[in-house]
Structure formats: structure tokens, C-alpha cells
Amino acid sequence: MRIILYECKKILKLPLLVIIILFTLLFYNLFMDSQYYPNDDASLAAGVDLAHILMDKYQTVLPYSEMGILQEIKQQQLQSLDSLVQHNEVLQNAGVKDYQQLRGMDMDAVGKEIQEAFWEIDFDKGIREVFLYQGIDNIEEHMEYAPFMGIEKGREEEAAKKICESQIAQDGDEATIKRVAQVIARNEMSLLPTGAFNRMAEDSSKFGVLLLFSCLILILPYQIRERLAHVNPLFATTNTGRGIFGKRYIAAVLSCLLVCLLQAGAFLSVLFKVGILKYRFCPASGNGWDYLWFDMSFGGYLTLSISITILFNIAIVSVFYLISRIALNYIVGLAIGLPTAILIGILYIKVMNYFLFVGHLRQLYVQFGFIAGGLLLAAMIVVILHFRDRKRDVMV
């Protein structure tokens, strides 16, 4: 244990940690979108506002029987907007009675004053109301287009097929349709806004790549430095013996785990800061847009997705470990390590993007196969190196 701690100290060098922090900042700025949520998309903002009003009352889901609330909220917004119109002198003088009428006017045909009054309401004083109003319109439109609530018993599959065609996959397979039908049968709407979910789902596969490179930056220099110091023959003759190799591996895994957990903490704080974590108790499937293969809460999905990402990365540490054991020096190590990391990273994004989302059953198998393959590879490397080290000449 003492040795492993020593090794961890050698791995977690301050300059490397600084490099990782800088890399992380760069990575977030270049690739991670969650941090901009929801302000970079006005229609998203409306959904968010609505979700918060509904969550105050219904916590996580809106049952079909309560759908009337949407109309109520919409009317409330309309009333506030009407009162804004009625308190506006310009509009009053022009004979505009309510918001509907204002909206219906051809803004190119009216005078400048009316235009300005309209903008004042739409983009300033009444912006929140307008967004909410439109948000509900969106939901209603969406429900007309792909109704997923209020379906008669026994007709869920039919509806599911429509949804699959219109928004999931043109040729969603049978398993996909079955799963969507299952969610439809719940007859309720998850209050998780689709924008929040999609940001997180996309970012969490990129998060995997971030972890991958963080581990690479941490492990490769350490392992290669150890080799270049030519200390292995000496260490292998001590009480610890060839066990030093295994201990170094364990230390590498522990250090990477620490960095992965810190990264996960940072990712979660970003999600928390922008408000995405608010929906953690909402069901992940069934806001009308997003369907997962399995029932779980959004928080559960987040936990699972981050855990699997970390697990996979820890597995990949053994690949880096192997590379650094066979590489002759830094140059060779990086020459093999970097492309390997990039390749695994690309594969990871390709395969793990929208982890567990319905579409094709095949895709689910590919995702599971990918993770299982990574773990298996890691286990193989560890076992092979362990037995190889036990009875083998120590050359360098």
C-alpha cells in the first residue's frame, strides 16, 4: 500500500495536473455544449420555463388527465399579454384590443410606432409570457403531429410506429416500436425538456474523450519516465520484485480514477450550474421526443452514463499501460499512444453518442459490445502482463 501511494505521488505531478486542467478548459470551450444551455436557443428557453412551472406542481411528470393545465397556463400568458397591450397608449390609439390581434397584424404595413410597441412587448416586457405561450404551442403542435398521450388501450403500437417514422428512425425495428409503445402506454409526459437531455447525452460521449486524453496525459509520461530511469532491474531484485509492475498499474488506475472522478465532478457542476440537474428525478424516457431502452430517471441515466464512461476509461488505462511498457521512449510512446487514443476517442463518440437511446436494437448491442470489449481487452492485458512478468527476464 505504501508503495502504491508512493507511485501515485509520482503520477500526480503538478505540471501534468495543470496541463490536464488547461486541456479541460480548452476542451469545454471547443466541444462541450451543455455550458451554454439553454440561452443559446430561444425555443429551448420557453420549454425550460414551462417545465419549471409544471414541475412546481407535478414534480416529474404531467399525467394525461392534467393536460388541461397547459391551456390554463397558455390563457394566463395571453391575459398578461393582453393587459400589456391594453396598457400601451400607442396600441390603444391604433385600436388594437388584444395580443392575438397584434400578432395577426402585418408589421410591414403598420407604422413605425406600432412596430416598436410590438417589439417592446414581444422582446422585452412580455418576453417570458411570449416564450411560454409559444412553448405550449410547440407541445400541442407536437402532440397533433405525433400524439403520444391519450392513446386508446391496444392502439399504442400503431402510434409508436408513427412516432418512429416521424422522429426516431425511418425504419425503426420491432423492438424499438415495442419500447416506444411501452412508454406511450404510461400516458404521461416527462417534464424533462428534450433540449436538456440532448445536450447532456451528446456531451457525455464527448466527456468520454476528455477522460481518455486526461488519462493519457497522466499515464504515458509516468510509465515511460520510469523506464527511462532504468530503475526496473534494481527494483525487481527487491522484496517487491516484479510485483512493482503490478503496483505501478494499480497506482495508474487509482490516479486515473481520481482524475476521472474530479472530471465527473466538474461536468456535473456545469450541468448543475446551467440547471440541467434540476430534472434528475424526471423519467428519462417519454417527453414526446426521447426514448431510452430502459426505464430510469434522468439522474439515473446521468449516473449510469458517467459511470460507464469512467469504467471504460479505466479499462483503456491498461492499453496505455501496455503501450508504455513496450514503447522504447517518449517519442515511440506518444507515437503509438496518441493515435490509439484518438482512434478509441473517435470510436467512442461514434458508438456511445446517445447511449441507450432507442432506434435500432443493433445499436444497443454495438454499445454494449463496445464497452464489454474494452473491459475484456483490459482484463486480458492485465492477466497476460501479470503472468508474463512473473517468469520473464527483466531486460530494461
Partner 1 sequence: MLTLAKVTKKYGNHTAVEDISINMENGLYGMLAPNGAGKTTLIKMITTLLLPTSGEILYNGMNIWEMGTAYRDLVGYLPQQFGYYKNNTPTQYLNYLACLKKMPKKQVAGRIAELLELVGLSDVAHKKMKKFSGGMLQRVGIAQAMLNDPKILILDEPTAGLDPKERVRFRNIISALGKDRIVILSTHIVSDIESIANQVIMIKNQHLYQMDTVDAICNMLEGSIYELEIPNEEFESFEQEYQVLSARQESGHMLVRFYVEEEEGIPKNSVLCNANLEDVFLVVYQ
Q: Which residues bind partner 1 (CB under 8 A)?
A: 2-3, 6, 229-241, 244, 391-394
Number of neighbouring beta carbons within 10 Å of residue 63:
12
Is residue 188 classed as helix, strand or coil in its secondary structure?
strand
* Smaller CB separation from partner 1, 241 or 373: 241
* Smaller CB separation from partner 1, 1 or 109: 1
* Shortest distance in whole angstroms from residue 30 CB to partner 1: 34
Number of neighbouring beta carbons within 10 Å of residue 73:
19
Residue with cell 440541467: 276
* Shortest distance in whole angstroms from residue 328 CB to partner 1: 15
* Shortest distance in whole angstroms from residue 393 CB to partner 1: 5
Amino acid at 265: G
* Smaller CB separation from partner 1, 236 or 258: 236
Strands, E, within 76-202: which ranges?
Answer: 188-190
* Smaller CB separation from partner 1, 74 or 247: 247
Radius of gyration, alpha carbons of the chain:
28
* Shortest distance in whole angstroms from residue 23 CB to partner 1: 24
Among 142, 159, 138, 141, smallest CA distance to 150 is for 159
* Smaller CB separation from partner 1, 234 or 335: 234
CA dist 178 and 138 (Å) reads 26
CA angle 6, 9, 10 (to 5 degrees): 90
* Smaller CB separation from partner 1, 235 or 321: 235
CA dist 191 and 280 (Å) reads 10
* Shortest distance in whole angstroms from residue 240 CB to partner 1: 5
* Shortest distance in whole angstroms from residue 334 CB to partner 1: 21
